[in-house]
């Protein structure tokens, strides 16, 4: 039963154990207090805390023995092409390596009658044509080093990037023995020079190519000026950029056929070897005499 604000538990056995004096005293003083801590009436029972739950750690897949961790892929990056022209020394040196092992040839008495272009077309050669005479005027050294001279000239005139572009374009037959790189380089010439070259070569180059160039309105206007001015056609015309090296306008197939190279005669070969041996012998004799003189003076 409840007595005051305390809790007293009694029963008949407990009451019987108390004397009347003690029982009356306990009732007047509020009874025996429980040794357990008192509970406030206004306090609410605390809600029972739920047991915390943590998810079990995930098991990592063990890689197989043969499997290798894949490296993260890096984004691909291609550097832009350099716009700096290749120095002349490097171009000449690289080209010189390709002709060092070549033998020296001299031109035959007459050019070949025909040659086959890269496109497979058989072309006739006229020994009296201007382009043929230009090629046959080359010296053996100029003919041998033509690849060096060609690369050096195109790079110096148009730049290394443009020359690389000319060589990367499809090979086409132009006519007149002209090469594909030269054809593409004419697009970079001043408009007036382009018009002069087309006007003077309208009977030489392929008509389809000529008509294609005439699609350029500005170029067609320049050609029309030459036509209206009754300018005579000069098939010997050479653009100013190639006046010092006119043979570089032509393809290697045409140059080989027009020059019609043959190995130098044995007489020239023996003469060169004889001069070389003579010079070596003189140097050896001078060296021996020098050594002998030094020993005598000692």
pLDDT in tens, 192-228: 999 999 999 999 999 999 999 999 999 999 999 999 9
| pLDDT exceeds cutoff 60 at 239 | yes
Q: Most distant CA pair in the chain: distance in Å?
A: 163
Query: pLDDT tier at 294 (50, 70, 90 boundaries)?
Result: confident
Q: What is the pLDDT of residue 185?
A: 97
**HEC readout, the chain:** CEECCEECCCCHHHHHHCCHHHHHHHHHCCCCCCCCCCCCCCCCCCCCCCCCCCCCCCCCCCCCCCCCCCCCCCCCCCCCCCCCCCCHHHHHHHHHHHHCCCCCEEECCCCCCEEECCCCCEEECCCCCHHHHHHHCCCHHHHHCHHHHHHHHHHHHHCHHHHHHHHHCCCCCCCCCECHHHHHHHHHCCHHHHHHHHHHCCCCCCHHHHHHHCCCHHHHHHHHHHHHCCCCCCCCCCCHHHCCCHHHHECHHHHHHHHCEEECCHHHHHHHHHHHHHHHHHHHHHHHHHHHHHHHHC
What distance in Å separates the CA atoms of residue 182 and residue 173, rounded to the nearest whole number?
A: 11
For 99-130, the pLDDT digits (tens) are: 444 455 666 667 888 888 887 888 888 888 88
Q: What is the pLDDT of residue 254?
A: 94
What distance in Å separates the CA atoms of residue 138 and residue 136, rounded to the nearest whole number?
A: 5
- Mean of per-residue pLDDT scores for the chain: 74
Tokens of 51: 């047991």
Identify which has the larger pLDDT, 182 or 88.
Answer: 182
For 242-290, the pLDDT digits (tens) are: 999 999 999 999 999 999 887 655 445 556 667 778 788 888 888 888 8
Q: What is the pLDDT of residue 187?
A: 97
Q: What is the pLDDT of residue 85?
A: 46
Q: What is the pLDDT of residue 292?
A: 77
Per-residue pLDDT, averaged over 15-38, amounts to 51
- pTM of the predicted protein model: 0.56
Identify which has the larger pLDDT, 84 or 162.
Answer: 162
């Amino acid at each position: 039963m409840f007595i005051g604000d305390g809790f007293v538990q009694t029963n008949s056995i407990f009451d019987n154990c108390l004397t009347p004096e003690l029982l009356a005293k306990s009732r007047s003083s509020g009874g025996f207090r429980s040794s357990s801590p008192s509970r406030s009436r206004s306090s609410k029972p605390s809600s029972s805390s739920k047991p915390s739950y943590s998810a079990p750690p995930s098991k990592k897949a063990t890689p197989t023995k043969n499997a290798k961790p894949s490296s993260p892929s890096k984004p691909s990056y291609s550097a832009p092409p350099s716009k700096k022209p290749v120095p002349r020394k490097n171009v000449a040196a690289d080209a010189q390596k390709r002709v060092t092992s070549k033998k020296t040839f001299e031109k035959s008495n007459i050019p070949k009658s025909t040659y086959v272009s890269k496109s497979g077309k058989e072309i006739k050669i006229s020994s009296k044509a201007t382009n043929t005479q230009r090629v046959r005027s080359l010296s053996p050294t100029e003919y041998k080093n033509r690849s060096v001279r060609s690369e050096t000239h195109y790079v110096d005139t148009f730049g290394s990037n443009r020359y690389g572009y000319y060589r990367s374009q499809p090979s086409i037959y132009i006519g007149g023995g002209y090469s594909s790189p030269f054809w593409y380089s004419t697009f970079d010439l001043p408009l007036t020079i382009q018009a002069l070259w087309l006007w003077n070569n309208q009977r030489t180059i392929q008509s389809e190519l000529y008509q294609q160039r005439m699609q350029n309105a500005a170029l067609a206007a320049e050609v029309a000026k030459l036509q209206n001015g009754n300018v005579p056609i000069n098939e010997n015309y050479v653009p100013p950029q190639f006046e010092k090296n006119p043979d570089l306008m032509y393809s290697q197939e045409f140059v080989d056929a027009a020059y019609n190279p043959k190995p130098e005669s044995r007489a020239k070969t023996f003469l060169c070897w004889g001069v070389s041996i003579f010079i070596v012998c003189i140097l050896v004799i001078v060296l021996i005499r020098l050594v002998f003189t030094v020993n005598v003076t000692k």
